[in-house]
Amino acid sequence: MKIAIASDHAGYDMKEQIKNYLLEKKFDIIDLGTNSNASVDYPDYAKKLGEKVTKGEVDFGIGICGTGIGMSISVNKVKGVRGALCLYPSMAEYARKHNNANVLVLAGRLMGSDLAIWTVDKFLTTDFEGGRHKRRVDKIDEIK
């Protein structure tokens, strides 16, 4: 599975921890930056992340900023992205099962690394249920 990961400065440390964890698990990772704790603008990284996902260059994306809110708002501006801000594994589970989320957004300042990794694991191991949820996701995709 190929995963793109991106963060701003507030999510940098968490990005590095998650990236290293996923590399150990033999995932193919594309790191879109940032590459330090120096201040940057999260919309720049959210755009890169969303485009990788919607072009089919990766299976899923993971975006991280301080609260997850800015990254979530920004990545969802990319047509075809269904980004979900998830603070717990159960949120990630339902984001995949019911919403077919293709980008997981995490909060670097609000989550510990263990919780973030559990959330990533749940997101990446949960399948979309389809059925009545597909109809709803199709309606989301029709919104302009």
Residue 65: beta bridge partners?
Answer: 107
- State how many domains the chain has: 1
Peptide bond connecting 34 to the previous residue in cis, omega within 30 degrees of 0:
yes
Of 9, 65, 86, 133, the active-site residue reads: 65
pLDDT > 70 fraction of the chain, expressed in percent and rounded: 100
Q: What is the DSSP letter of 38?
A: S
Domain of residue 135 covers: 2-142
pLDDT per residue over 56-80, tens digit each?
999 999 999 999 999 999 999 999 9
User: pLDDT category, 83, cuts 50, 70, 90?
Assistant: very high
- Domain at 94, CATH number: 3.40.1400.10
Angle at 19 between CA 17 and CA 24, to 5 degrees: 95
User: pLDDT category, 144, cuts 50, 70, 90?
Assistant: confident
The predicted pLDDT at position 106 comes to 99
Q: Is 65 considered catalytic here?
A: yes
Q: Is 98 considered catalytic here?
A: yes
Of 9, 86, 98, 133, the active-site residue reads: 98
